[in-house]
Each structure stands twice: as C-alpha cells, then as structure tokens.
Amino acid sequence: MQNLQAIEIKYLRPTNTRGARMQATAAAGRKLFPYDFEKTIQEQAKDVAAQYCKLKGWSYKTLHIGILKNGNSVAVMTR
C-alpha cells in the first residue's frame, strides 16, 4: 500500500531564461510542469497534482485542492 502524501503546488514566475511554470513538491520529490495560461491557478493546481500522481503511480478517487497561507496550493488524495 502506498503512503498518501500532500502535494504542494507553487507558481514560479518567468525569468529571462525560463517561462512560467508550476512546481509540485511532496515527500516523494519535486517536479516542474509548464504553466497553461488558459487555466486559472486552481485549475492548474488540480491538473499539476493529477499529473504528479500519475507520474508517481499513485491511484486516488478524488483530489482535493486548498490554498496555504503563503498562497501556494496543496492537494490531498482520497481513495
């Protein structure tokens, strides 16, 4: 059985050399995803969390998204 982990999703602003991106971080590691300007931050957070779970091979029934005090998003899974 896999350990359930909260996923923190952070927006990273564009720099002179990189475009805007989203960073997903959990105890299992960190991964960068491209930013989709057609979606809201909340939609992005849910998509990034789903992609991160797929990448890690984690199954879930529902993803819940919340906002942390620092403005980052957090995703938790339920089975």
Looking at per-residue confidence, does 42 or 4 come out higher?
42
- With respect to residue 1, please indicate whether it lies within any of the assigned structural domains: no
> Which tokens belong to 4?
């359930």
pLDDT score of 78: 85
Q: How confident is the model at residue 2 (pLDDT cuts 50, 70, 90)?
A: low
Q: 73: number of CA atoms within 13 Å, CB side?
A: 22
Domain count across the chain: 1
pLDDT tens per residue, range 9-63: 999 999 999 999 999 999 999 999 999 999 988 899 999 999 999 999 988 889 9
- With respect to residue 63, please indicate whether it lies within any of the assigned structural domains: yes
pLDDT score of 1: 40
Distance, in Å, from the CA atom of 39 to the CA atom of 58, rounded to the nearest integer, reads 24
* Mean pLDDT of the region 58-69: 91
- With respect to residue 19, please indicate whether it lies within any of the assigned structural domains: yes
Q: How confident is the model at residue 71 (pLDDT cuts 50, 70, 90)?
A: very high
- With respect to residue 2, please indicate whether it lies within any of the assigned structural domains: no
For 32, the domain range is 7-78
Please tell me the total number of residues recorded for the chain in this structure. 79
Distance, in Å, from the CA atom of 74 to the CA atom of 18, rounded to the nearest integer, reads 24
Residue 51, Cβ neighbours under 10 Å: how many?
14
